[in-house]
Amino acid sequence: MSFTNVLTALAATGGIGDFRPLASLEELAEKHGRPSDSGRGSSEHEWPYWLRYGDVRLEACECRIVHSLQLETWNDTVTIPADRFGEYVALEASTTFRHLESGLLVAGVSWTTITRRPDQFTLEVEAPHATVHFTFVTGGDDEESGKDDALLYGVTAQEFTHWCGQS
Ligand SMILES: [Zn+2]
């Protein structure tokens, strides 16, 4: 399993295995054990709440439903939960636009490109029940220069149907 495969599956399904927006925290704990870390966003409010399984960061509301998933990908390796209880897998994180683009094309996933800053761009994918963003940094002022070699900086998947006023 390469990290590009994980990202392509995330674009196609909206999740990393069981870890996806609208997943229930109870089910994740049953299947994967306790999170590696967790905490509150604010000392004054119990919710929303964040959890980490390896490098996969989740945000959840009081309904114990996952709203969003985030993954920082600018480190050398990224650790994600494996399919089995309590197990993790470490993958080489370095992913370029060219890598992900070829994975998405093979998987038949389409995207739109959003450019808000000259040194970065974001691919937006409408996955089932989630909007997925892949943000790349080019490290240059010229948008077109080095786009293929732009490095993946971060990934988010956000659901857009659950509304309880806490997200
Ligand atoms: Zn809720």
Q: What is the mean pLDDT of residues 37-44?
A: 84
What's the mean per-residue pLDDT of the chain? Answer: 92
**Which tens digit of pLDDT belongs to each residue from 20-33?**
999 999 999 999 99
pLDDT at 123: 98
43 vs 18 pLDDT, higher one = 18
In SS3 terms, the chain reads as CCHHHHHHHHHHHCCECCECCCCEHHHHHHHHCCCCEEEECCCCCCCCEEEEECCEEEEECCCCEEEEEEEECCCCEEEEECCCCCCEEEEECCCEHHHHHHHHHHHCCCCEEEEEECCEEEEEEEECCEEEEEEEECCCCCCCCCCCCCEEEEEEEECCCCCCCCC
Q: What is the mean pLDDT of residues 130-158?
A: 86
Q: By percentage, how much of the chain surpasses pLDDT 90? A: 77
CA of 26 to the centre of ligand 1 (A): 14
CA of 129 to the centre of ligand 1 (A): 15
CA of 51 to the centre of ligand 1 (A): 15
pLDDT at 146: 79
pLDDT at 93: 93
| pTM assigned to the model | 0.92
**Which tens digit of pLDDT belongs to each residue from 71-121?**
999 889 999 999 899 999 999 999 999 999 999 999 999 999 999 888 899
CA of 160 to the centre of ligand 1 (A): 12
The pocket of ion ligand 1, defined by CB under 5 A, consists of 61, 63, 164
CA of 145 to the centre of ligand 1 (A): 43
